[in-house]
Amino acid sequence: MAGQSIFEIGRRLKHVKENDLAHGQFGKWLETVNLNQNVANKMMKIASTEKLNYATSHNLGMQALYEIATLPEVERTKEHTTSTGEAKTPDEMTVKELRYLKKQLKQCDEEKSHLESQLEQAQRSESIARKQLEE
């Protein structure tokens, strides 16, 4: 029920923000309904996330749903290994496990980026060396 409510509230907040208020008025309107801007943003992010598994996420809380919604789309349905060595999909994970997963994914992206940079540098060096040999 909690997850379902979060999706619905997020959809309604997004509608109000996009259709009912002038630009810059959303924050003021949130104050009138006593809703924190950060909470509202998380709910809208959850509601706007394509292919979030509604069937299994209806019993998840807002923080878990937000962590899943901010994962790269391709990672949301894959099975991952948690810090304890268990294999779980994101909708089966705790918030702590989701944060660990996101940290691991970020580290992998940074390592990949670093390796790609090294490869480009090596290719440039190779190209320069070939040109020097041809001269």
- Domain residue spans of the chain: 1-70, 74-135
Signed CA dihedral, 53, 56, 58, 61: sign only: negative
pLDDT on residue 83: 86
**Predicted confidence pLDDT, tens digits, the chain (135 residues):** 466 788 889 999 999 999 988 888 999 999 999 999 999 999 999 888 866 655 556 678 888 889 998 998 888 888 999 888 899 989 889 999 999 999 999 999 999 999 999 999 999 999 999 888 887
pLDDT on residue 132: 87
Enumerate residues 6+ apart whose C-beta is below 8 A from 100: 82, 83
Q: What is the number of other CB atoms lying within 10 angstroms of the CB of residue 41?
A: 16
Enumerate residues 6+ apart whose C-beta is below 8 A from 14: 44, 47, 48
